Amino acid sequence: MLGWDAAAMMPPGGAAVRGDQMAVLAGLSHGMLVASEAAEELDGAEAAPVDANPWRAENLRLMRHAHTRATALPVDLVEAQARANSACEKVWREARRSADFSLVRSHLAEVLRLVREQASALAPALGLSPYDALMDGYQRGIGAADVVPVFANYEVFLRAALPRVEEIQTRRPAPVRPQGPFPLEQQEKLCRMLSERVGLDYSHARLDRSAHPFCGGTQTDIRITTRYQEGDFAQALLGVLHETGHALYERGLPDAFCRQPVGDAAGMAVHESQSLIIEMQSCRSDAYLSWLGPQLQASFGGDPAPYAPQNLAWLWRHVERGFIRVDADEMTYPAHVILRFRLEQALIGGDLSVADLPGAWNEGFYALLGLTPPDDAQGCLQDIHWYDGGFGYFPSYTLGAMAAAQLMAAARRAVPGLDQALGQGDHSLLLGWLRAKVHGVGSLLGFNDLLRAATGKPLDPNDFEAHLTARYMS
C-alpha cells in the first residue's frame, strides 16, 4: 500500500522518508522470517507425518522455501538494498528526463553490487546459479537454461516473420486515427465501465492515476492505475484492461489460503499471462473489437470510421520496430525482453560493467531489431526495473505472453461459444475457465505444472507463434 501511495498519491517531497519507511518494513519483515521461533516451528511441522492434503503440504514446502531465501540474506543487506534501490530510483527519474545515464551510473553500480551480493548469498542456499537464484524470486522453477533456447528459437521466428508482416501491412490502407480531444473524465468513466464488464468488482478495487500503470494492493483491496492523454484514449484504455487482468487474478486466488504462500499467485510469468490473456488475447480479438467499436463511438462521438472493428484492429494490432518496450506490439515485444535478459545476465555475471551498459544496449538492440536508440532515455534508461533492484524479472514478460497464447488456445477448445460471448462484450465464460484452471489454483502448482494441468502440456512456444501467424500473417 505504501508503494501504491508513493506512485499515486504521495507528494514528491515525501520520497526520501518513504524510502526509509520501506527499508524499515523490509527489515522487520525479514526479521520475522528468520526468527528462531520460525525455524523451530518449521522443523516441527516437517518432522510430523506428511499431510495428506496437497494444499497444506505444498504450503509448508513454500514456507520452507521462503525461510531458506530469507535466512540466506543478512538483515543489513536487505535494508541496504531497500535504501539503495530507493535512492537510485529517485535519481533514475531525473536521468531519464534528461537522457543522461551519467547521472545515475554510480547509483546503479551500487544497486548492482548489492544485487550480486544477494545472488551470491542465495545461490548456495537454493542450489542454483546466482542468476537463477534471482529468477527464482519472480518465477520459481524456471531458470536461464529453460529460457535461453526458447528465446533463441523466437529470435529465429522473428527474423523471418517481421519482414513478412511489415510487407503485408504496406499493402493495406492506412488506419484512421480517432480525432480528439478525449476528455479525461470521459476516458476514466469508459475505462472503469470496461474493466467492470470484464469482471473487476469495484467494491474491492480502485482505479487511480500514476506515471506508469500498475496493479497492487491485496486480494480484497486491489489498486490499479493508468495514465491519460487527452489526444489518445487508447493508452489508458488498453493499460486498464491489462491491469484488470492482473487484478482479476489477485481477486480469484483461493480464499481458504488467503495470505498464505500456497494462496499467492504462482509467479510473475503466470501473473503476466493473466494480464495478457485479457488485454492481448481477448480484448484485441476480432470478436471483442466488434463489440467495443460501438461503445467507443457512443462515448466519444464524431466520425464513426475510426471505431470500425477492422480499423481498430489495424490500429491496435500494428507491428512496428520501435525503441520503447512498453509501447511495443506483441510480435516485437519479446525482442526487447531478450535484450534485457542477455544484458542482465552479463551484468550479474561480471561480464558487463555498468559504465559499458549504454553501448552494449545499443549494440544488442541493433542486432535484434535493426535500430539504434537516439539517446539513453530511449535505450537503457527507459525501464525502472534495474534501477529499483529488479534483476531476473524481465523473462517473465515473454514467458507470460507465450503462456497466455497457450491458455487462450486451450480455453477456446474447452469452452463452446467463447468468441461469441466476447463478441457481446461478455468475459464471463473466459473468466470462469481462468478461475478454475489458473486463479483458484494459487501456488499449488509451478509454472509448467500449472500449464500442463490447464492445457495438457508444459510451456509450448509454438502456440504463441501460431497465434502471431494467424493474427498478423493470414
Same domain, 152 and 172: yes
The closest alpha carbon to 268, from 456, 363, 397, belongs to: 397
| Section 391-396 average pLDDT | 97
Query: What element of type H or E holds 212?
Result: none
Q: How far is it, in rounded angstroms, from Cα 468 to Cα 474? A: 9
Binned at pLDDT 50, 70 and 90, residue 22 comes out as confident
> Mean pLDDT throughout 104-119?
98
Number of domains in the chain: 2
Give the pLDDT confidence score for residue 27 in this predicted structure.
82
Is 39 in the same domain as 92? Answer: yes
Give the residue among 72, 31, 454, 25 at the shortest CA–CA distance from 266.
Answer: 454
Choose one of 105, 136, 167: the last residue of a domain.
Answer: 136
Verify whether residue 243 is a known catalytic residue.
Answer: yes
Q: Is the pLDDT of residue 398 over 90?
A: yes
**Span between the terminal Cα atoms of the chain, in Å:** 45
Of 211-220, 259-268, 384-393, 399-408, give the lowest mean pLDDT range. Answer: 211-220
Confidence of residue 16 (pLDDT cuts 50, 70, 90): confident
- Phi first, then psi, for residue 205 (nearest 5°) are -150, 160
Q: Do 159 and 215 have their domain in common?
A: yes
HSE-CB of 429 using CA atoms within 13 angstroms: 19
Burial group, residue 77, by CB count within 10 angstroms (0-12, 13-18, 19+): middle
Tell me: pLDDT of 328 over 90: yes
The mean per-residue pLDDT over the stretch 144-149 comes to 97
Chain centre to alpha carbon of residue 105: 25
Confidence of residue 447 (pLDDT cuts 50, 70, 90): very high
Could you list the residue range(s) of the whole structural domain that residue 35 is in? 2-136
- Annotated catalytic residue, options 243, 250, 272, 279: 243
CATH number for position 203: 1.10.1370.30
Indicate whether 30 pLDDT > 90.
no
Judge if 71 and 174 occupy the same domain.
Answer: no
Q: Please state whether 210 falls in left (phi above 0), alpha (psi between -120 and 50) or beta.
A: beta
Among 106, 136, 166, the domain-final residue is 136
- pLDDT tens per residue, range 195-251: 999 999 999 999 999 888 899 999 999 999 999 999 999 999 999 999 999 999 999
Alpha helices in 317-356 (DSSP H): 333-349
pLDDT at 101 over 90: yes
Sheet holding 221-226, edge to edge: 205-209, 221-226, 215-218
What confidence score (pLDDT) does residue 175 get? Answer: 95
Residue 173 sits in the same domain as residue 122:
no
Q: Does pLDDT of 15 surpass 90?
A: no
For the stretch 341-363, pLDDT in tens is 999 999 999 999 999 999 999 99
Evaluate if residue 12 carries a pLDDT over 90: no
Binning pLDDT at 50, 70 and 90, where does residue 19 land? confident
124 and 196, same structural domain? no
Distance, CA of 203 to CA of 79 (rounded, Å): 35
Residue appearing with cell numbers 492482473? 246
pLDDT tens string 66-97: 999 999 998 899 889 989 998 999 999 999 99
Amino acid at 240: V
**pLDDT digits 0-9 by tens, 367-384:** 999 999 999 999 999 999
Residue 23 clears pLDDT 90, i.e. is over it: no
pLDDT tens, position by position, 161-180: 999 999 999 999 999 999 98
Same domain, residue pair 230 and 343:
yes
Contact 66, 346 (CB under 8 A): no
Identify whether residues 116 and 150 lie together within a single domain.
Answer: no
Q: Work out the pLDDT band at 26, boundaries 50, 70, 90.
A: confident
Q: Are both 291 and 370 inside the same structural domain?
A: yes
Query: With 90 as the cut, is the pLDDT of residue 24 above it?
Result: no
Task: Say yes or no to pLDDT of 394 above 90.
Answer: yes
Contacts of 37 (CB under 8 A, 6+ apart): none
Report DSSP state, residue 265: -
**In this predicted structure, what is the pLDDT of residue 123?**
98
CB–CB of 291/422 below 8 Å?
Answer: yes
pLDDT tens per residue, range 302-314: 899 999 999 999 9
Residues 124 and 146 in one domain: no
Q: Out of 136, 156, 186, pick the residue that ends a domain.
A: 136
44 and 114 together in one domain: yes
Cross-strand pairs, 217: 222
* pTM given for the model: 0.95
CA neighbor of 57 nearest in space, from 255, 266, 254, 262: 262
Indicate if 73 and 175 belong to the same structural domain: no
- The mean of the pLDDT values for the chain is 96
Would you tell me how many other CB atoms lie within 10 Å of the CB of residue 345? 22
- Mean pLDDT for 265-275 is 98
